[in-house]
Structure 1
Amino acid sequence: MGSRRVVFVVGSGRSGTSTMSGTLQTLGLHVPQPEVVADSTNPKGFGEPQWVVDLHQELLGRCGVQVSDARPRAWLDAGRLSADHAVRERVTQWLESQFDQGDELVIKDPRAAWFLGLWRACADRCEATPSYVTMLRPVTEVVGSKKKYYDQRQGDVTRTAAWINMMLHTERATRGEARRFVRYSDLLDDWTQPVFALGEAFDLQAVKTAMANDIAQVHKFIDPSLRRVTLTWDDVEVPRSLRDLAEETWQTLDGLATEGGDSAEAHARSDQLRVAYDEMYADAEAFAHSTTLAARREGAVTARREIEQAAAEAAVEAGGAPRLPHAVRAMVPPRARRGLRKALTRRRSREA
């Protein structure tokens, strides 16, 4: 590989990924433009290329995966799309165009974890060296932050499970690659230590040759008060078994950020936890199977009622004549159609 570098900032949302991306950008790495606009949930900015976010949202929609998806099989669905030739060609062309702006890029989007194989292949096609920074923040703080700033329809259980799924698979997907794990708390306490260590590990010239003014700008950019949510397990309502698995996952991942902690023993433990999570999720699906079937039946009943109502309204508007398209009439069960005809006949008789 030549001098081209692309750093992927990965990990769960609300874990400090934006702060890391913004720091690398301030030191001279290029964040492809335009960026996602800052808002109240992230007043310092996201450090996310809008094109990348739009791409990931499109791909997630195509494979039926959510940003915070707790299903282990979701990785298979996303992985199949990552191998699509047309998608790879499209991303490669975009990535190649970004190197016109500089040889060292930083790409950050929490959704990227679902498509790391795609980005790795495209970086290789561009003859660029990929590297990965996984941000670490206690699961209770991540869940609490998402609860405060994101969609309220997801509960503590779903968010905790999704965090385990995301983080363990991200660890597996980046294993064997140039990577570093950085604690969000370490970044806020003294950013110079983890960031300059990244510069050396990934051979980032922008970081290694940062000027005093760049360093001063990062000191202004990083605000310790950004850690606005500090919850514990007392504040997160999840079953004990899920809490224990999440806590053990956190302890294992946290150890990866320690010098020498990214070891074969840690990898083996991560694999064990991933298997344990898969089994726990399978058990939960089995327990909830009746609920799932009931929800499907309820959805079918609701859809049928909506079709019947639409058919009745259309028939009335047409003067009671059976002028509905055959495809619409066919969607209404025969018994319901007979009932509708009788009701309409009675109504016309009364009106006459």
Structure 2
Amino acid sequence: MSSRRVVFVVGSGRSGTSTMAGALKTLGLHVPQPEVVADATNPKGFGEPRWVVDLHDELLKRSGVQVSDARPRAWLDSGTTSGDHATRERVATWLEGELAAHDELVIKDPRAAWFLGLWRACAERCDATPSFVTMLRPVTEVVGSKQKYYDAGQGDVTRTAAWVNMMLHTERATRGEQRRFVRYADLLTDWTQPVFAIGEAFDLAAVKTAMAVDIAEVHRFIDPSLRRVTLTWDDVAVPSRLRELAEETWEVLDGLADEGGDTAKAHARCDELRAAYLEQYAEAEAFAHSSVLAARRAGEASAAHAPTSRASDRVPHAVRAMVPPGARQRIRKVLHRERP
């Protein structure tokens, strides 16, 4: 049996994914280099391979999908984009190069949730066992943290809906795989419990044989004060129906982190909640349709009153220069644009 392992740390951004990746890295798993550099939003570091983040940004742009996207159909769009042969070849080649140097990798990026099928297929192609750690943090804290550290382009409603959409899909996409759900609060309280449980469950040699010096380094790395945002529903303004759906989603996901909690009954409840979210989102789209049409009409009206450019002005100068002078004169005459 191959000793190759790839641990994917997934879940919503601001849920403790960086802390988990950093702990596994400190114990000996390899984070492909170079990494995204630390900044004020994450002073301990992100634990994200730069190559992976750039790949995901490229695929999301091609898909027309945001990192935090509330649309249920966004999963279809991202899956279609990442399913092409060229992309799989590219990812498998990169992954094989990393595994040739290190048997146990940890790959973390909140964007990865959109491309779990791609990564699973490429890991298996490289004769590596893929495993998934999904970090859990109450939705109000996630929304509050994003309010504080990210741009204000999305409001509480969109962020909450995007959390429900991403977390329920991540649960479904990792079902049947080697996986563990870890509460961020548990990681900060006593990291040894969830991390060493992961080491046993995923058969990670680096974790199972960690030296005392490595364990001490993780103790220094994990700082309980990292949980700097602790909001409640009193601080997050969302419609009551969305709040109820988010609360129910948190309740079932939170139960998956319990020993023996990853059950068929919990899976069925997640399926029910995904269906409820799909229905609720469809209703919201139907209600907002008039606003969408009004915005489209306003855009068309603005374009109609904007100065129009001549067709020839939109042709690059280098292309126009390739047209023989005589031909250019005849074209100007036809367009009634003869030069004096």
Task: Give the C-alpha shift of residue 300 in structure 1.
Answer: 1.7
In structure 1, how many angstroms separate the alpha carbons of the residues matched to 2:251 and 2:162?
17
User: What does 1:77-226 correspond to in 2, within 5 Å?
Assistant: 77-226=77-226
In the alignment of these two chains, the number of paired residues is 314
Letter in 1 for 2:267: H
Asked if 1:243 corresponds to 2:246, the answer is no
Give the secondary-structure state (helix, strand or coil) at the position aligned to 1:288: helix
In structure 2, how many angstroms separate the alpha carbons of the residues matched to 1:55 and 1:194?
30
Name the residue aligned to 1:19: 19
Name the residue aligned to 1:260: 260
Give the secondary-structure state (helix, strand or coil) at the position aligned to 2:180: strand
Unaligned runs of 5+ in 2: 315-340
Give the secondary-structure state (helix, strand or coil) at the position aligned to 1:105: strand
The answer on whether the counterparts of 1:183 and 1:257 sit within 8 Å (CA) in structure 2 is yes
Give the secondary-structure state (helix, strand or coil) at the position aligned to 1:99: helix
Asked if 1:35 corresponds to 2:35, the answer is yes
Letter in 2 for 1:46: F
In structure 1, how many angstroms separate the alpha carbons of the residues matched to 2:127 and 2:161?
37
In structure 2, how many angstroms separate the alpha carbons of the residues matched to 1:222 and 1:162?
28
Asked if 1:325 corresponds to 2:308, the answer is no
The answer on whether the counterparts of 1:30 and 1:101 sit within 8 Å (CA) in structure 2 is no
TM-score, normalising length from structure 2? 0.91
In structure 2, how many angstroms separate the alpha carbons of the residues matched to 1:166 and 1:275?
14
Task: Give the C-alpha shift of residue 28 in structure 1.
Answer: 0.2
The answer on whether the counterparts of 1:178 and 1:202 sit within 8 Å (CA) in structure 2 is yes
Name the residue aligned to 1:315: none
Letter in 2 for 1:128: A
Give the secondary-structure state (helix, strand or coil) at the position aligned to 1:133: strand
Structure 1 residue ranges (4+ consecutive) displaced by more than 3 angstroms after TM superposition: none
In structure 1, how many angstroms separate the alpha carbons of the residues matched to 2:66 and 2:127?
31
The answer on whether the counterparts of 1:59 and 1:81 sit within 8 Å (CA) in structure 2 is yes
Letter in 2 for 1:243: R
Name the residue aligned to 1:343: none
Task: Give the C-alpha shift of residue 121 in structure 1.
Answer: 0.5
Give the secondary-structure state (helix, strand or coil) at the position aligned to 1:300: helix
Could you give the per-residue CA deviations for residues 5-38 of structure 1, whole angstroms, max 9, x where no partner exists? 0000000000000000000000000000000000
In structure 1, how many angstroms separate the alpha carbons of the residues matched to 2:288 and 2:50?
38
Give the secondary-structure state (helix, strand or coil) at the position aligned to 1:66: coil
Q: RMSD of the alignment, in Å?
A: 1.0
Letter in 2 for 1:265: K
Name the residue aligned to 2:74: 74
In structure 2, how many angstroms separate the alpha carbons of the residues matched to 1:12 and 1:232?
17
Name the residue aligned to 1:51: 51
Name the residue aligned to 1:337: none
Give the secondary-structure state (helix, strand or coil) at the position aligned to 2:153: coil
In structure 2, how many angstroms separate the alpha carbons of the residues matched to 1:254 and 1:81?
31
Task: Give the C-alpha shift of residue 99 in structure 1.
Answer: 1.1
Could you give the per-residue CA deviations for residues 199-245 of structure 1, whole angstroms, max 9, x where no partner exists? 00000000000000000000000000000000000000000000000
Give the secondary-structure state (helix, strand or coil) at the position aligned to 1:182: strand
Asked if 1:297 corresponds to 2:297, the answer is yes
Task: Give the C-alpha shift of residue 301 in structure 1.
Answer: 1.9
Task: Give the C-alpha shift of residue 83 in structure 1.
Answer: 1.4
